[in-house]
Amino acid sequence: MVVEEIISSEDEKMLLESVIWSEDADDQNFQKSLKRRRVKHFGYEFHYENNNVDKDKPLPGGLPDICDSILEKWLKKGYIKYKPDQLTINQYEPGHGIPAHIDTHSAFEDEIISLSLGSEVVMDFKHPDGVTVQVMLPCRSLLVMTGESRYLWTHGITPRKFDTIQASEHYKSGIITSDIGDLTLSKRGIRTSFTFRKVRHTPCNCSYSSVCDSQRKETPPSFPKSEKEATQLEQEYVHRVYEEIAGHFSSTRHTPWPRIVEFLKSLPNGSIVADIGCGNGKYLGINKELYMIGCDRSPNLVDICRERQLQAFVCDALAIPFRTGSCDACISIAVIHHFATAERRVAALQELVRLLRPGGKALIYVWAMEQEYNNQKSKYLKENRINQGKKEISDTSTRGQLVEQMPDVNNQDLAFSMPSINVFQEEECNSRKVTNSELPIHTNRTTFHSQDVLVPWHLKGNPGKDKSVEPFGPVGSHDPGSVFHRYYHVFCAGELEAACQTLSNVSILQSYYDQGNWCVILQKI
């Protein structure tokens, strides 16, 4: 429900003037500069690291007096049923946004209201079924979210500078339809929102248990048994994690791998090359004679590419918005192992090949189950030996950097079949296929004991090394010890080749083992 003109422009002015955005980060009203907006909290501080409030620690001062009288008025008029005790003020510059989210069920009561001031904006509401509704929030309007809109639909604001809106209904609230004849662009101004919520003191008992944290079973993730579970696993243990660790992850990824560079340098000048899952874009500028364009599932990583003046966009590797046959070559480095079922891994390969013109080549790297090959330990394992005695070992510091120290120690091309390894590995693989239980958590720098694992990432608060990379996410929200788990399916010897062979229109030009990874170069027929 959107109530228009809920306050006068005089009140709007007064409210806006009451907000003092001090430059001092230690401001007592808990002001923070998030990546895409400024926020201030009253009543209770909202903690972005767990998306909840500390219910035992109300902020001194409560809500500003000016809000009090306005809230009383709304209560009397019946726009709201309960009086909120928490206020978050967000300030969005044009181009800012807020990721789609549902306010944590256990944190707040049913009714959540948001007052839009300064500029109108279009808010996107998404139902878990995939339905998206764009709602115009005019200036001085009050958005009231209750029931399904509060508990089940996500809401968010796409970061952009213009909104496409209904030309005939300009300045009015309502749903944006796709009637092209009636669309126009609206330039965003600075919008300040006052979001009022009432802190919940009992567990949530809504009827939307699938998205309710109070009703969530506290079971660790298990091996996915369906497409839906696989998607959820990837969402929670791949997409969300990369988004959170993007800044730190990027600061550890600066050294290109020699054989990937070699592949890129071998391509004819002027080739159009797509890097699907480009991360921070470290391969996009390797060969200036190519036109390279990257994509990644993580908006934060794509932002890092853009800051580096590299061409990149956000997309899902299963649905890449490129014309079929438009690329001369593609690379997929450390991507396919994040898909949680064999079908999805093949689908990702298929999508990669779809982009290629006939004769075009793709280079694919996935993490190997075997971290020891020809009696040589991979750098990944070696790092453990080097680091022995050090207390905290994260997998973050090594995979790129070590290449500098020990180039090509055990890069060896593999013959296509390797009987001795295969026999041993097939046994391994088979035993894994029946796995039906919880996903094990891998101990970094050790041998893999399962093909489907959660690999810990130790987030460091300050990316440190690479000064050009800003720390992302809420400043200081993660203590230095935060650990995130990423889902991996590590590949057995021969498994990547077998997956490629299920595609009808490719031939495998080369397959090899490179530093704990299985690698394939494909050609589209």
Binding residues for other proteins, rule: CB under 8 A, are: 160-162, 164, 178, 180, 183, 185, 268-272, 288-291, 293, 309, 311, 321-323, 326, 328
Handedness of CA 413, 418, 424, 425 (dihedral sign): positive
Q: Quick one: 159 or 277, whose CB is closer to other proteins?
A: 159
Shortest Cβ 172–other proteins spacing (Å): 19
Q: Quick one: 271 or 280, whose CB is closer to other proteins?
A: 271
Question: CA separation (Å) from 452 to 416, 484, 496, 500, 513?
Answer: 24, 16, 15, 19, 20
> How many other CB atoms are there within 10 angstroms of residue 345's CB atom?
22
Q: Quick one: 244 or 328, whose CB is closer to other proteins?
A: 328
The token duo for 19 is: 């907000």
Q: What is the dihedral of CA 108, 113, 115, 119, to 10 degrees?
A: 90
Shortest Cβ 22–other proteins spacing (Å): 31
Shortest Cβ 157–other proteins spacing (Å): 13
> What gap in Å lies between CA 64 and CA 395, rounded to an integer?
47
Shortest Cβ 94–other proteins spacing (Å): 10
Shortest Cβ 292–other proteins spacing (Å): 10
Question: CA separation (Å) from 473 to 33, 244, 248, 287, 304?
Answer: 9, 7, 11, 32, 13
Question: CA separation (Å) from 198 to 45, 83, 88, 104, 108?
Answer: 12, 7, 11, 12, 5
Q: Quick one: 204 or 293, whose CB is closer to other proteins?
A: 293
Q: Quick one: 291 or 512, whose CB is closer to other proteins?
A: 291
One-letter identity of residue 262:
E
Q: Quick one: 88 or 134, whose CB is closer to other proteins?
A: 134
Shortest Cβ 156–other proteins spacing (Å): 16
Among the listed residues 421, 441, 435, the one whose alpha carbon sits nearest the alpha carbon of residue 371: 421
- Kind and range of the H or E element at 157? strand 154-157
Report residue 263 CA to chain centroid gap.
Answer: 28
149: Cβ contacts below 8 Å, ≥ 6 apart: 125, 155
Shortest Cβ 93–other proteins spacing (Å): 14
Q: Quick one: 96 or 489, whose CB is closer to other proteins?
A: 96
**Hey, is 415 helix, strand or coil?**
coil
Shortest Cβ 197–other proteins spacing (Å): 31
- Degrees (nearest 5) of the Cα angle 390, 393, 394? 160
Shortest Cβ 270–other proteins spacing (Å): 4
Q: Quick one: 148 or 289, whose CB is closer to other proteins?
A: 289
Measured in degrees and rounded to the nearest 5, phi and psi for residue 522 equal -105, 155
Q: Quick one: 291 or 424, whose CB is closer to other proteins?
A: 291
